[in-house]
Amino acid sequence: MERDIQEILIDANQLKAKVKELGQRITADYKGKNLLMVCVLKGGITFMADLIREINLPIEIDFMAVSSYGASTHSSGVVRILKDLETGIEGKHVLIVEDIIDTGLTLKYLVENLKARKAASVKICTLLEKPARRRIDINIDYCGFTIPDKFVVGYGLDYNEKYRNLPYIAVLKPEVYSS
């Protein structure tokens, strides 16, 4: 796998420090509130697993799987829910945990969908954002890192279901995904 990597953008130590910082902020902001953390599968699972261990509050977790990419490296803009929540969210404070936000289309759809279910609040926590690819304005409440417009893998992010288990965020060599 390492031979397919062009460069490491964010190493394991940087990830660990940022996740701890985000966990502390979320702990302070949601003190005394009924927090439901919703992980967007599959990419968000590694981030979510580490993040919940840094939050010092009673929390609930649930999962959604959505698709706007398929096997492509670019979002189609059409969002499909592949797995919906198992938990009712009415009256709960929902924090969507996402691996990466680029165009913003998927998150806009999810936020509107969850607000329509009468959540007390819906906020976004993302590990990565790519503002250069943003197509719509979306409010990101908690952001780990802002990255350049490069195709990244690792720490849950994949290309064609591979590279998720890398312990860092790396740029994939273009020849790997353009062939």
Q: What are the catalytic residues?
A: 102
Write the CB contacts of 18 (distance below 8 Å, at least 6 apart in sequence): 127, 144, 145
Which helix H or strand E contains 121, and what residues bound it? strand 121-129
Sheet holding 5-10, edge to edge: 5-10, 169-172, 152-153
d(CA 104, CA 106): 6
